[in-house]
Structure formats: C-alpha cells, structure tokens
Amino acid sequence: MKLSVKIRLFSSLFMLILILLVNTSIYYLFHAQSLDREMADLNTQTNEIISTLNENPDISQNDMLDAFLPTEGMIRVIDESGSYIVEVMKADYRELQGRYVTSESRSIISMENQADFATVAKPVIWENGDVVTLQIYKKLTSHTSTMETLFFVLVVASLIMLIPTIVAGSFLSRVITRPVGELTEAMKENTIYGSWKKISADDQSKDELYEMKVTFNRMIDHLRENFEKQEMFVSDASHELKTPISIVKSYSQLMKRRGADNPELLEESTEAIESQADRMQKLVEQMLLLAKSKDQDVYKLFNLIELGRSTAETFNGAYERDIIFNTSAQALQVNGSRDQLEQVLYILMDNAIKYSEEAVTLSIREKGRHAEITVKDNGLGISEADQEKIFDRFYRVDKSRSRETGGTGLGLSIAKAIAEAHGGKINISSTLGKGTVVTLSLPIHPTHEN
C-alpha cells in the first residue's frame, strides 16, 4: 500500500471515528434530556390531576380524568387487586401494562413499530375512600420524531465534514509524498545513469521535508566530491605506478636478451629493478597510510615536547645532520594519536632534510590555546604558485629531484589529513633560494591549560 493511500485512509478513519464519537455523544445526551423533559411534563400533569381531584370532590372523577387525557395517551385507575377501575383513552392502548403501586414510579415502555410510551404512576384516594393507583400514559410521538430528525441531521453533518477531511487528506498526502517521489526518482536516475541529480529545495517553509531535501543534496555533493577525488586518486596512482612498472619491464626484457653475456648490464638491471620495486613499495605504503589517516584512531593524552625531542634525536642520528630542537616549555599535553602525529613530524623533517643541505630547526611553543610546531630549513624554497598546490596528492615541485630522493608526492597530503583529523592545520611559508618554514598547529588539551 502506497504512503499516500495510507495517509488518506488514516486521516479519513481518524476523522470518521472522532465524528462518530462526538455525534453519538450528542445524540444520547439530547435523547436523555428530551426524555427527562417528557417525564417532568407528565409528572406535572399527574400532580395537577391529583390536586384537581382533591379540590373538587363533587365533580365526577371520570369526567375530570377525561378532561386531562393526553392527546395520544391513556389514564388508568388501578385498585389494590390490580383491576382497572377506570380506563380513559382516545385510541386502543389496552395492550399497555399497568400495576398497582403504593409510591410514585416512572418508566418508559418500549414498543415495536411505533413510538414508546412514558408513564407515571402515583397513589391517590378514590371517591369511595380506597387508595388506588393513578397511572398516566403518554405516547412519545414528538420525542421520537425529534430524535429521528436529529439522527438524520447528524448523519448529513458527518458526511459533510468527511468530504473536506478526505480532500485535506489527499492534499496532505501529495504535499508529503511529492518530495519523497522526487527523492526516489533522483536516486533511481543516479543509480541507473550514474548521474549526480539533486532535487529542488526552494520551498518557503523550512520544515522536515525541506531539511530532507537539503540533506539529500548535501549528500550528493559529498558523494560526487569523494567520487571525483577517488577517480583522481586512482588516475594519479596509476600514472605514478606506470613509470616504475615500465622501467622494471624494460630492464627485464633487456636482461632476457643480453643479461647472460653481459655481467655489468645484469648488475645494472638488477639494481634498477630493485630501486623501482622499493619505489613502488613506498608508494603503496603511503597510499595505504593516506587512506588509514581518515579513520579515527584511539586518542590519548601525551606530551608533545617529548615527541618533538625524540623525533629530532632520531633524525640527528640517522642522517648525521645538524638538527636543532628549540622549546621553552617542559610539557604540552595534546589529545590524539601519538603514532599519527609522529608520522606528520617525520614527513616534515624528511622533506626539510631532502631539500636542504644546512641545519634543520624543529621548534615547539605554546601559542594561546594551541601548540605550534615549526620545521625550518634553509634550502631551495618553494614558489608561491607551487605553495597553493603543495598539499595536493602526487604533486611534486621538482619531479626529477623527487624521483632521485624517492619522493611520491603524498607526504604532505598525509600530513594535512592527519592534522585536520586532530583539529589542527598546516601552513607553509617559503621564499625561493632562502628556505621554507612549515607550521603545524594543534589544540592543547584543557587539562594542560588548567
């Protein structure tokens, strides 16, 4: 069953039940009040008869009863034995039951195929001095007619109220299901044709349906952006892998043709193949690291000063270069993955060492609510045009030098991704021929501030 049908059915059934409850309450409330009025009138009439009989003992009691006879009714006088002493009526109502009572009683006599009767019975002293029962019957023709009219009016009113309810339910279902239908069609089209179709979100009302449209469009933009990045990543990775694969293939064919008779060529080819294999391994490892950097690692508090000092000592021993470590703080607590941030420092230090011959300075200081890490070298520097693209994947300022040093163009992309995952950012300031300063800013944990 479609959603639009469910909405129409639910709204119509809900309104129908509500109307039935209200109209039924009105009907039975009016029915009870009308009967109470009829019984009150009949009781008043009975009291008047008894009062007149007591005040006029000389007048014939039969004549008196005939004068007070209801238009559609009957008056009976019943003695203690249950016999009818007097019966006054204009129609044959003898089928109505009567009984002797010693106290006032009221009741409704239900009839088939005709209006009901209301009856009031009271004890009275008859002309012979005996205590008898005076019972008056009245046919509720007016009451029955009024209730039938009320029933007809309520039924018609219910139908009249249901019509706008059905119309409103249809309108509401269209309002709700139209954006859902647009969303479904857009998703089908995107699935079948591979497009990035969005739905219109020009609604004036900022309701949940509007939020659904906006959220869907944002999701499409996000998916398209990620898809384009993925395509670019695959394309760039394929391009980067194609060169070492071609070299490996060429040297393999060369070894097959001439390697057996030329030891020098065999050694040269083996070294070239090993070098390109190392390059491909490093490229794949960095691509995996870049993908992994998007995953949330387990974050813990650690001292950034200790991490910077150990990094400087590691590079100082590995490269036998002057690595200067400067800091004025004893401890700076940050919340994050120590391994990932260590990888960022290694990338920045490795680049500084590759593209400079002089000392490299690693500095850490506290600046406001952030820890600021700077890696400074006095190397070749980077032009302003290259600085805008330096964080793009596989982008390399000097491709020939990058290949000589084993660079893949992924290092700074990895560093930026990790920094942003930790709520930080990386900036580069460089001048050609003077060197480069890379600044990594990370938020300090509140416990350190306290």
**Residue 284 and residue 309 in contact, taking contact as beta carbons nearer than 8 Å:** no
My answer on whether 308 and 288 are in the same domain is no
Per-residue pLDDT of the chain (450 residues; tens, 9 = 90+): 677 777 778 888 888 899 899 999 999 999 999 999 999 999 998 888 888 888 877 777 777 788 888 888 899 888 888 888 888 888 888 888 888 888 889 998 888 888 899 999 999 888 778 888 999 999 998 898 999 999 999 999 888 888 888 888 888 777 777 777 778 888 888 777 777 887 777 765 677 777 888 888 888 888 887 787 777 767 766 766 776 787 788 888 888 887 677 788 788 888 888 877 877 787 777 667 656 655 556 788 999 999 999 888 888 877 777 889 998 888 889 998 888 888 889 888 888 888 888 889 999 998 888 999 999 998 888 888 787 778 776 666 665 444 444 556 677 888 888 888 889 999 999 888 888 999 999 998 876 554
Here the tokens at position 227 are 């898809």
Here the tokens at position 7 are 């909405």
Asked if residue 162 belongs to a domain, the reply is no
Domain containing 242 equals 209-292
Asked if residue 189 belongs to a domain, the reply is no
Predicted confidence at residue 401, as pLDDT, reads 46
Predicted confidence at residue 241, as pLDDT, reads 73
My answer on whether 266 and 306 are in the same domain is no
Here the tokens at position 183 are 């969303």
CA distances from 170 to 11, 116, 178, 341 (A): 9, 45, 12, 59
CA distance 175 to 204: 13
CATH number for 349: 3.30.565.10
Predicted confidence at residue 67, as pLDDT, reads 83
CATH number for 49: 3.30.450.20
What is the total count of domains within the chain?
3
Which among 268, 292, 316 is the end of a domain? 292
Predicted confidence at residue 296, as pLDDT, reads 55
CATH number for 258: 1.10.287.130
Asked if residue 181 belongs to a domain, the reply is no
Predicted confidence at residue 442, as pLDDT, reads 92
**Residue 377 and residue 352 in contact, taking contact as beta carbons nearer than 8 Å:** yes
My answer on whether 228 and 353 are in the same domain is no
My answer on whether 138 and 213 are in the same domain is no
Predicted confidence at residue 176, as pLDDT, reads 76
My answer on whether 311 and 282 are in the same domain is no
My answer on whether 272 and 372 are in the same domain is no
Return the closest-CA partner of residue 71 out of 89, 86, 50: 89
DSSP 6: H
CA distances from 204 to 66, 178, 200, 366 (A): 78, 15, 12, 48
Which among 276, 292, 308 is the end of a domain? 292
CA distance 67 to 56: 13
My answer on whether 100 and 128 are in the same domain is yes
Asked if residue 266 belongs to a domain, the reply is yes
Asked if residue 176 belongs to a domain, the reply is no
My answer on whether 438 and 395 are in the same domain is yes
Which among 245, 275, 292 is the end of a domain? 292
Query: What's the chain look like in SS3?
Result: CCHHHHHHHHHHHHHHHHHHHHHHHHHHHHHHHHHHHHHHHHHHHHHHHHHHHHHCCCCCHHHHHHHCCCCCEEEEEECCCCCEEEEEECCCCCCCCCCCCCCCEEEEECCCCCCCEEEEEEEEECCCCCEEEEEEEEECHHHHHHHHHHHHHHHHHHHHHHHHHHHHHHHHHHHHHHHHHHHHHHHHHHHHHCCCCCCCCCCCCCCHHHHHHHHHHHHHHHHHHHHHHHHHHHHHHHHHHHHHHHHHHHHHHHHHHHHCCCHHHHHHHHHHHHHHHHHHHHHHHHHHHHHHCCCCCCCEEEEHHHHHHHHHHHHHHHHCCCEEEEECCCCCEEEECHHHHHHHHHHHHHHHHHCCCCCEEEEEEEECCEEEEEEEECCCCCCHHHHCCCCCCCCCCCHHHHHHHCCCCCHHHHHHHHHHHCCCEEEEEEECCCEEEEEEEEECCHHHHC
Asked if residue 167 belongs to a domain, the reply is no
My answer on whether 230 and 344 are in the same domain is no
My answer on whether 25 and 97 are in the same domain is yes
Predicted confidence at residue 297, as pLDDT, reads 63
My answer on whether 382 and 408 are in the same domain is yes
Predicted confidence at residue 402, as pLDDT, reads 47
- Regarding pTM above 0.75, the answer is no
My answer on whether 284 and 408 are in the same domain is no
Measured in whole angstroms, the distance separating CA 40 from the mean position of its chain's CA atoms is: 61
Residue keyed to tokens 């270069």? 321
Return the closest-CA partner of residue 225 out of 233, 215, 235, 236: 233
CA distance 92 to 331: 114
